[in-house]
Amino acid sequence: QVQLVESGGGLVQAGGSLRLSCTASGRTDRPYVMGWFRQAPGKEREFVAAISWSGGSTYLVDSVKGRFTISRDKAKNTVYLQMNSLKPEDTAVYYCAGDVRLYVGSWARDPNEYDDWGQGTQVTVSS
């Protein structure tokens, strides 16, 4: 079992930046894909980004390409989501997710494919 803890959310003005972190603990000795999802009030949970075990491959939703970057520090068991040029429509609770896999692909967009979830961190972008 892996435990995931997010941090870094907050309130920011449109055009600003935030960096979210998610640290894994527990059974971290296995190949592990990590991703980010978000959920706005009244909406379904939406895929944002995922990164392969090696960190060499990433997968992002079109709406954040060019603004968000996902990366990971394997030594720290931590994945990051750097969010730039934030827009009010980015406002949501952001969740970290993980699954025991090596590679990312189209499967990464489906929240049902992930076994582990963090508690979420609120990101609010004011206009």
Q: How confident is the model at residue 92 (pLDDT cuts 50, 70, 90)?
A: very high
Residues found in the chain: 127
**Cα-Cα-Cα-Cα dihedral sign, residues 60, 56, 85, 124:** positive
Residue 33's pLDDT is 97
> What digits encode the pLDDT tens for the residues 94-109?
999 999 999 999 999 9
Q: What is the pLDDT of residues 2-56, one digit of tens each?
A: 999 999 999 999 999 999 999 999 998 899 999 999 999 999 999 999 999 999 9
Q: What is the structure's pLDDT at 72?
A: 97
pLDDT for position 120: 97
CA distance 34 to 37: 10
